[in-house]
Structure 1
Amino acid sequence: MTIHKEGYQILFWTVLILLAVNILSTSYLFNGNETAITLVLAASLVLFLLILQFFRKPRRSTPLNDQHVISPCDGTVVVIEEVNEPEYFKEPRRQVSIFMSPLNVHINFHPVTGTVQYVKYYPGKYLVAWHPKSSTENERTSVVIRAKNGAEILLRQIAGALARRIVWYAKEGQQVQQGHELGFIKFGSRVDLFLPLDADVKVKIGEKTKGGVTVIADI
């Protein structure tokens, strides 16, 4: 277990701010009040540990399989349905959505091995991740990968009420490998997959997923 590179700057500033708060509480705000000073210190430690665990980077081993679409993130399956995907495919697709709680690992992984066909970032709102319109109105990034068998998978990173930055590493024309890092959602919150209609979905609503490991579907 290590710390993800996206957390370095936030953790650095968190330490500086918490250190300043504790110096002020000890020297000025609560000078001589040991109970208040202890409470501030305890709250600071809890806050730091919460942020630290958010940026944890576990070691994962992905069993490569060109027929599998593996989970792009840790979380809970909240949507499995047929929808009309209007951005790229402009036709019906099978949507599988995974909600990421603040306690989940927030690294995103490539679901298949293939070639990146399309990357598009959209600024937007910060509706709660389970809101029906979050997929089309929130800040989001769409990435389409063409798998080795020709099937195209659209992955959409979606910010939520707490998320304020989406990070993605994919570029159009890039060759990517299943299970490698696609990006990161800082303090956020949902990933949508749009699969071919004939994809054999292997997960169910409410099922917990492990990014880079759980098989979402066969294509």
Structure 2
Amino acid sequence: MNYPHPIIAREGWPFLAVVALLALALQSFGLTFLSVVAWILFVFVLQFFRDPPRYIPAQKNAVVSPADGRIVAVERVEDPYAQREALKISVFMNVFNVHSNRIPIGGEIKSVDYFPGLFVNADLDKASTQNERNAIVIHTDTGATVTAVQVAGLIARRILCYVKPSDSVEKGQRYGFIRFGSRVDVYLPTDSVPKVAIGDKVSASSTVLAELVS
């Protein structure tokens, strides 16, 4: 299992430190009610930035979920990042899900492109094309192309991506983070076999979204 990061995502450490210091300061001034509110906020931030290790299926043709959440789309669309027709599977993350993003399948990063945009509710279909987003295109060892797109949501205001073109990546590898509610779209070859349906709950790295046809 490839997991070089602690259980609390490093992206959350500054937020946790600020809220903890605020809570302690309020407590030291005897502002009990406000300090309790601050500690409740600390617990919320703590759960949001949790980032536990996950099991990664070994089968080579399995495309795993890049995020925790709920399936909101399984449909044939145009992949605007790799210029092809594709099967799109979308995962919506609410504020209570783990927001660490994982590589859906191993291969080589061919492109990384950031697009500014809106911040409409990421549960809506139009978020895929109108919201702020970051797309990575992966070429697998078997020649297939898989695109993963981090999409900002209604509250999310920061997309973090840690890979760049020509990087070799492994399935389940941690590659990014989206703060406070968002979505990840995965575009697959049209002959891929989906293993999830709309409404299914999925876990990053552990849930198989689809199988590529060899």
Aligned partner of 2:17: which letter?
A: F
Q: SS in structure 2 opposite 1:3? A: coil
The range that moved more, 158-167 or 128-137, is: 128-137
Aligned residues: 207
Aligned to 1:213: 206
Q: Summarize deviations over 1:38-95 as a string: whole Å, max 9, x none.
A: 3322211111000011111212121222200001011000001111122x22232111
Q: Summarize deviations over 1:95-140 as a string: whole Å, max 9, x none.
A: 1000001111111000101000110111221111022221112111
Q: Is the 8 A contact 2:82 2:137 kept in 1?
A: no
Aligned residue among 151, 170, 173 for 2:144: 151
Aligned residue among 46, 50, 60 for 1:52: 46
Cα separation, 1, equivalents of 2:113 and 2:22: 35
Q: SS in structure 2 opposite 1:56? A: coil
Larger radius of gyration: 1
Cα separation, 2, equivalents of 1:21 and 1:59: 35
Aligned to 1:15: 20
Aligned to 1:195: 188
Q: SS in structure 2 opposite 1:79? A: strand
Q: Is the 8 A contact 2:24 2:35 kept in 1?
A: no
Q: SS in structure 2 opposite 1:39? A: helix
Which structure 2 residues correspond to residues 43-192 of structure 1 after superposition, within 5 A? 43-86=37-80, 88-192=81-185
Cα separation, 1, equivalents of 2:63 and 2:15: 32
Q: SS in structure 1 opposite 2:16? A: helix
Q: Is the 8 A contact 2:109 2:137 kept in 1?
A: yes
Aligned partner of 1:108: which letter?
A: N
Q: Is the 8 A contact 1:77 1:205 kept in 2?
A: yes
Q: SS in structure 1 opposite 2:148? A: strand
Unaligned runs of 5+ in 2: 1-5
Aligned residue among 7, 13, 16 for 1:2: 7
Q: With the length of structure 2 as denominator, give the TM-score of the two structures.
A: 0.92
The range that moved more, 60-69 or 91-100, is: 60-69
RMSD across aligned C-alpha pairs, in angstroms? 1.4
Deviation at residue 206 of structure 1 after TM alignment: 0.4
Cα separation, 2, equivalents of 1:20 and 1:139: 36
Aligned partner of 1:165: which letter?
A: R
Cα separation, 2, equivalents of 1:69 and 1:85: 17
Q: SS in structure 2 opposite 1:57? A: coil
Cα separation, 1, equivalents of 2:119 and 2:42: 24
Q: SS in structure 1 opposite 2:19? A: helix
Q: Summarize deviations over 1:142-197 as a string: whole Å, max 9, x none.
A: 00111111100000000101111111111100000001101111112100000110
Q: SS in structure 2 opposite 1:143? A: strand
Deviation at residue 21 of structure 1 after TM alignment: 4.2
Q: Is the 8 A contact 1:121 1:140 kept in 2?
A: yes
Cα separation, 1, equivalents of 2:22 and 2:35: 12
